[in-house]
């Protein structure tokens, strides 16, 4: 199976609009969150029924995992709105 991944450099100030896929290990610097929180959110995103493997995230190998930047941003915003409703 061959994946056509379009991976571009990410601006330090945030996500570049051209960025489609981000390596899992680059999520903290891209989105400005901690490593532990990024891992926790990725696990929640994978278990969520709204996000599908191959479309929103891809596990190419144990060390090469990618997430669609726009999908992760959508997921992060939905979590943020849920946190606001709780408080």
Q: What is the pLDDT of residues 24-60, one digit of tens each?
A: 999 999 888 999 999 999 999 999 889 998 889 998 8
Residue 20, pLDDT score: 85
Decide: pTM greater than 0.75.
no
Residue 87, pLDDT score: 61
13-44 core/surface letters (b: 16 or more CB in 10 A; e: else): eebeeebebbebebbeebbeeeeeebeebbee
Per the listing, tokens 């726009």 go with 70
Q: What is the pLDDT of residues 74-83, one digit of tens each?
A: 999 888 777 7
Q: Does the pLDDT value for residue 17 go beyond 50?
A: no
């Amino acid at each position: 199976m061959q994946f056509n991944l379009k991976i571009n450099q990410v601006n330090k100030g945030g996500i570049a609009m051209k960025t489609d896929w981000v390596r899992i290990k680059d999520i903290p610097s891209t989105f400005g969150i901690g490593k532990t929180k990024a891992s926790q959110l990725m696990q929640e995103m994978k278990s969520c029924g709204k996000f599908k493997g191959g479309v929103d995230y891809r596990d190419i190998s144990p060390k090469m995992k990618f997430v669609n930047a726009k999908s992760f941003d959508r997921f992060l915003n939905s979590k943020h709105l849920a946190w606001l409703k709780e408080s």
